[in-house]
Structures are given as C-alpha cells and as structure tokens.
Amino acid sequence: MRRVPCGRPWVAGWLLGWRPDEFWRATPAELAAVLRAARGEEAAEAGVDGAELGRLMGVMPD
C-alpha cells in the first residue's frame, strides 16, 4: 500500500474533494481562501445572497 505524505500541498486538494486538474489550476490565493472557509475562518458576509446568485447565473448561464 502506498503511503500518503501528509506534508504535501496536494493533500489539501484531496481532502477538499478536488480533482487533480482543479487542484493544479487553483492559485495559492484560491487554495488559501478555500481552506480558510473550510476551517470556518471566513466571515459569513463574505458570500453572495440568493439575489446576487440569481443575477450571476443570468449573466453566466453556463
């Protein structure tokens, strides 16, 4: 059995459920933001509300 080296940065992507291409495309800032949110360190007001989400979905339907 292959051991997983826990000190490697890609372990964060594995724990978050990211596919390898998603991990490698992410910038360090994006990874840091996701990890802060996963740990509950992001402020609740940092997200978007339902109206803003609907607006974004309207202008970017894909």
Helices (H), 1-62: 10-16, 20-25, 28-38, 50-59
pLDDT on residue 12: 74
CA dist., res. 31 & res. 25, Å (int): 10
Counting as low any pLDDT under 50, the low residues of the chain are 4
Q: Rounded to 5 degrees, what angle do the CA atoms 37, 30, 2 make?
A: 85
Q: How far is CA 4 from CA 9, 13, 27, in A?
A: 11, 13, 22
pLDDT on residue 24: 86
pLDDT on residue 58: 92
